[in-house]
Structures are given as structure tokens and as C-alpha cells.
């Protein structure tokens, strides 16, 4: 921590004071993905650095993870973008959201069906990874 003040109010410290265990990391989602090309080039270096940091943490503090390598605990998903904002604002799960021109707080927004399907597929991927 940059300062003892930060440490005093950190989540982990609050749990320690309360005699509670830290939760374990089950999954790391990387969502800076373009719709058509895989990892967005502007983020590739950052995403690789994240993998390296996670690998180091697994080696040094494996007890905080429920997985023991990157392949088991890190997945890439697309950013939910407009589809996610509309679903969230409407309180509607992706699988029930309709596509097309929709009203969002008085504004017309476009939800593309292929983007909606991508969101549903990514949610299924997340669930599948958590069930293993």
C-alpha cells in the first residue's frame, strides 16, 4: 500500500479485523475485446501484462486463487457496450432482451442482434468456466 492510511481502510484489513477470510479469486475476466478481431491491439500489451501479473501472483500467493494457471482462470470476453447498457438500464437479462431500435430513457438506441447473441454466449462461457 502507498500509505498506512490506505492499509487501514483496505478491504482485506477490514476482513482481518472482523476475523473473516478473504474471498478467493475464481475467475478473471478480460473484456477489452473488439467485436471481430480478438484482443484489441491498443490493449494487447496491457492484457499480456495482466496475464504476467496473475501468473506471478499464482506462483507467490496461490492460496488466494481457486485455479493454478492462467488457462483455467482467465477468459476474454467482448465488452458488452450498448447492449449491456440497455440490458442493465432495463433490468433485463441478455437472453430476454430484444434487438432493434429500443427506447432507453426517452432516447432511441440500436441493439444489434449479433451483439446480443455475443453477450449471451459470453455469459454462458463465464458460467461454464465457474462450474468447472
Q: Give counts: helices (H), strands (E), the chain.
A: 6, 6
Domain boundaries, the chain: 1-79, 80-132
**What confidence tier does 60 reach under pLDDT thresholds 50, 70, 90?**
very high
Q: Write down the pLDDT at residue 19.
A: 95
Other beta carbons within 10 angstroms of residue 5's beta carbon come to 9
Q: Phi, psi at residue 90, to the nearest 5°?
A: -90, -10
Least confident window among 7-16, 43-52, 76-85, 102-111: 43-52
Average pLDDT, the chain: 88
Other beta carbons within 10 angstroms of residue 80's beta carbon come to 19
Q: Write down the pLDDT at residue 8.
A: 80
Least confident window among 1-10, 18-27, 95-104: 1-10
What's the pTM value of the predicted model, to 2 decimals? 0.75
CA 131 → CA 96, 107, 109, distances in Å? Answer: 23, 38, 34
Q: Write down the pLDDT at residue 38.
A: 53
Amino acid at each position: 500500500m502507498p500509505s498506512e492510511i490506505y492499509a487501514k481502510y483496505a478491504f482485506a484489513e477490514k476482513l482481518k479485523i472482523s476475523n473473516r477470510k478473504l474471498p478467493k479469486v475464481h475467475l478473471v475476466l478480460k473484456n477489452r475485446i473488439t467485436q471481430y478481431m480478438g484482443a484489441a491491439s491498443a490493449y494487447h500489451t496491457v492484457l499480456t501484462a495482466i496475464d504476467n501479473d496473475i501468473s506471478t501472483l499464482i506462483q507467490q500467493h496461490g492460496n488466494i486463487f481457486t485455479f493454478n494457471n492462467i488457462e483455467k482462470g482467465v477468459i476474454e470476453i467482448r465488452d458488452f457496450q450498448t447492449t449491456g447498457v440497455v440490458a442493465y438500464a432495463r433490468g433485463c437479462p441478455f437472453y430476454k432482451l430484444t434487438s432493434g431500435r429500443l427506447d432507453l430513457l426517452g432516447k432511441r438506441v440500436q441493439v444489434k442482434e449479433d451483439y446480443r447473441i455475443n453477450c449471451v454466449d459470453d455469459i454462458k462461457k463465464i458460467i461454464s468456466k465457474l462450474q468447472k
